[in-house]
Amino acid sequence: MPLSVKRLAVKHPMSVIDDPDCTFDLTVPVVVIGGGACGLVAALSAHTMGAEVIVLERDPVPRGSTALSSGMITACGSSPQKAADIHDDTPELFARDIQAKAGGRVDPDLLAAICTESGPTIDWLIKHHNMDLVLVDGPPYPGHSRQRTHAPPTNSGADLMADLLRAVDAAHIDVICNATVRELVVDGDRVRGVQITRPDGSIERLGCETLVLASSGFGGNADMVESWLPDMAGSIYFGHEGNQGEAILWGQALGAACEDMGAFQGHGSVATPHSITVSWALLNNGGILVNQTGIRFCDESLGASELAATVCQQDGSVWSVIDQGLYDGAMRFPDFKNLQTLRAIKSGATAAALAQACKLPVPALEETLAKLEKSPALTAPYHAIKVTGALLQTQGGLAVDTNARVQRPDGSTLPNLFAGGGAARGISGTDGSGYLSCNGLLSAVTLGRIAGREAGIQINALP
Ligand SMILES: Cc1cc2nc3c(=O)[nH]c(=O)nc-3n(C[C@H](O)[C@H](O)[C@H](O)COP(=O)(O)OP(=O)(O)OC[C@H]3O[C@@H](n4cnc5c(N)ncnc54)[C@H](O)[C@@H]3O)c2cc1C
């Protein structure tokens, strides 16, 4: 169960040490910082290219936001799609859907590269790394014109991480845990290695020829959230607390550009105080949000991410109201069952009874439900869950080209630095409204594969 965490309002001593003469305890061709989906896929990819690679992970066990997610990865042209008789999904159609959601504000070249590589990346993970990824049942998620969502059969991000760690282990790739990278060691703008701080405060230095930044975004860094996402500054953070934005700060210190820094994946329906996401599908299929005065305050069809800030502005919490049919359908999902076990779901045979159970004004909720113009209509008996808005994942980051190489503001690339996942700019436009479902792992997995491959190509080209 994901726990919400308080953002740390601390300034981290993160820096770049310019030292051409620094010596290292060990040097490996490719170092990857961060052992989430992006970092582990990047490591597998560099390994496939024949490059020796080490992953550095700050936690005792790699989890990242990936383990908190539903493990759902969108991709087009994959074998699971073809097995399900979906033969007409294309990178162009996929990119069009993503641009439509983001109002056309996604870098078209990066998007084309990610969409094109997405299906082959899923196939490579399945065929070469024996990963258990299936096409999700049912109709496409809103905004996707084909069913293209892949996931572990359990729809669990923790299971996705377990499978990735198994694959990395099978490839004999070292993942060094309890290894927080605080500083990059550089010579000008060329990375020479990294400085690792261990839990006991001891310092180790690891040299590298190429570096992949896969340490995700800045959702866990209160100062950066306040600077870049002021509307979400007061919200709970639902992602991984280790996402402190170091990649962006290191990149900036090396002269890299950052893009789309106002973009984020939010969620307007997180059960409070339980910190369990309540599927937005309930609201797409007839459920409504009402505030503490019993009044509906938004058009739920706008989406989970775009309404996160609106929900946060409603006195801290609101109620997600559904009926028996939606309740019964949701009970097959473990998170929803958990909510029932935790007694987070209030019920009422009538609107008045529900209002009393939720301590909402009876006449107001009665009127809201009686005058509801939403299809399909809600019918008694009713159920409701108290929810709030949350920041899940930042979507802005280091500018990268189609080979995941980190770019300067003029579009030129840094000599040996790559980035992917939450560390790199996303494909979700410029604010909270552009996130199409599963953009996060699409970018983490596909750009991770590109970053690892290109780092490996650079190693193979060395004299
Ligand atoms: C509740 C929730 C549900 C979600 N559901 C979905 C979904 O179903 N589909 C989807 O596409 N997206 C989803 N997302 C978004 C998705 O989880 C992220 O976009 C994705 O996991 C990012 O992957 P990543 O590898 O870049 O980052 P992470 O998985 O966060 O990995 C980054 C890793 O880097 C490590 N690290 C950070 N800094 C350092 C450092 N200095 N030194 C060493 N290690 C470091 C961290 O400990 C972490 O393990 C969800 C997010 C949340 C919060």
Query: What is the tens place of the pLDDT at every residue in 229-256?
Result: 998 887 889 899 999 999 999 999 999 9
Average pLDDT (54-66) is 98
- At residue 188, the pLDDT reads 94
Q: Do domains 15-263+396-460 and 265-391 have the same CATH topology?
A: no
Give the pLDDT confidence of 407-425 residue by residue, as tens digits. 999 999 999 999 999 999 9
Give domain limits for the chain.
15-263+396-460, 265-391
Nearest CA, atom 48, ligand 1: 64
Q: Is the pLDDT of residue 1 over 50?
A: no
CATH topology (fold) of 265-391: Flavocytochrome C3; Chain A, domain 1 (3.90.700)
Band (312; pLDDT cuts 50, 70, 90): confident
Give the pLDDT confidence of 98-127 residue by residue, as tens digits. 999 999 999 999 999 999 999 999 999 999
- At residue 234, the pLDDT reads 77
- At residue 4, the pLDDT reads 36
Pocket of ligand 1 (CB under 6 A): 2, 33-39, 56-59, 62-66, 68-72, 180-181, 214-216, 238-240, 242-244, 246, 265, 277, 392-393, 421-422, 438, 440-442, 444
Structure-model confidence comparison of residues 35 and 6, the more confident one: 35
Q: Is the pLDDT of residue 10 over 50?
A: no
Average pLDDT (432-454) is 96
Average pLDDT (138-152) is 94
Band (2; pLDDT cuts 50, 70, 90): very low
Band (14; pLDDT cuts 50, 70, 90): low
Give the pLDDT confidence of 193-217 residue by residue, as tens digits. 999 999 999 999 999 999 999 999 9
141 alpha carbon – ligand 1 mean position (Å): 21
Single-letter amino acid code for the residue at 157 = G
Ligand 1: which of 4, 7, 38, 65 to mutate, most ligand atoms within 8 Å of CB? 65
- At residue 9, the pLDDT reads 37
Nearest CA, atom 19, ligand 1: 440
Q: Is the pLDDT of residue 32 over 50?
A: yes
Q: Does domain 15-263+396-460 have CATH number 3.50.50.60?
A: yes
Contact 51, 89 (CB under 8 A): no
Q: Is the pLDDT of residue 443 over 80?
A: yes
